[in-house]
Amino acid sequence: MPYIEPKVEKIHYSIGEVAEMFDINTSKIRFWEKEFGTLRPKKSGKGNRIFTNKDIEQVRMIYYLLVERGMTLKGAKMKLKDNKEDTEHNFEIVKKLQNVKKLLLQIHDKI
């Protein structure tokens, strides 16, 4: 059996890398950071934002509510404040369904 190099995930990401993941401007992430108390990346000694995987999940949830679901800023804030557990649960289900869809499309392409 051949050796398979393990996939190495980064621990920290720059704001530019995170913006690229979601195809948005870095200014939008900085704005979301001001508006949503749950998004609080650490900052380096130089003041650069350092995003962890947990921070990226917060960006993903905010992106899902604002961009994919088309909610207003006020609506997304209320949803996260008033019904955070249910919102997180629904978000996890959507993520799993998107992964299944991606897998099925890959299988379809191979046929």
Write the CB contacts of 10 (distance below 8 Å, at least 6 apart in sequence): none
Strand partners, 51: 13
CA 8, CA 28: separation in Å to the nearest integer?
28
pLDDT tens figures, 61-86: 899 899 988 999 999 998 888 776 77
Crossing angle of helices 26-35 and 53-63, in 10° steps, is 90
pLDDT tens figures, 94-104: 778 888 888 88
CA 64, CA 71: separation in Å to the nearest integer?
9
Q: What is the CATH number of domain 15-110?
A: 1.10.1660.10
CA 26, CA 88: separation in Å to the nearest integer?
24
Full-model pTM = 0.73
